[in-house]
């Protein structure tokens, strides 16, 4: 964490106050930084999923998530109901 840029520190501090389970996907590789609310979703992927690119942690749903993450990367705000 000591090597993280200041904007990542700031963003990580904002995510835990969000009322919905949230995960921060950092840079174009979508490195996962999840918060306590999301621990139930990570399940057996804990703790190894922290810091992994999303496609490595979730290969079985990458064909779904890749399109969603690309929309967000392009600046679109969206909410996915019902989970993926």
Any domain includes 32 = yes
Buried b (16+ CB within 10 A) or exposed e, 7-16: ebeeeeeeee
Q: How far apart are CA 36 and CA 41, in angstroms?
A: 10
Specify the pTM. 0.71
Tally of domains in the chain: 1
Any domain includes 80 = no
Any domain includes 83 = no
pLDDT digits (tens, 9 = 90+) for 30-77: 888 876 666 777 888 888 888 899 999 999 999 999 998 899 889 887
* pLDDT tops 70 at residue 25: yes
The residue range of the domain holding 30 is 6-73
Q: How far apart are CA 77 and CA 3, in angstroms?
A: 28
């Amino acid at each position: 964490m000591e090597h993280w840029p200041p904007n990542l520190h700031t963003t990580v501090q904002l995510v835990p106050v969000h009322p919905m389970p949230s995960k921060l996907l950092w840079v174009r590789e979508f490195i996962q930084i999840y918060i306590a609310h999301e621990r139930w979703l990570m399940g057996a992927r804990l703790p190894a999923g922290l810091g992994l690119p999303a496609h490595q942690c979730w290969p079985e749903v990458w064909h779904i998530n890749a399109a969603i993450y690309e929309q967000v990367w392009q600046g679109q705000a969206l909410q996915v109901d019902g989970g993926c």
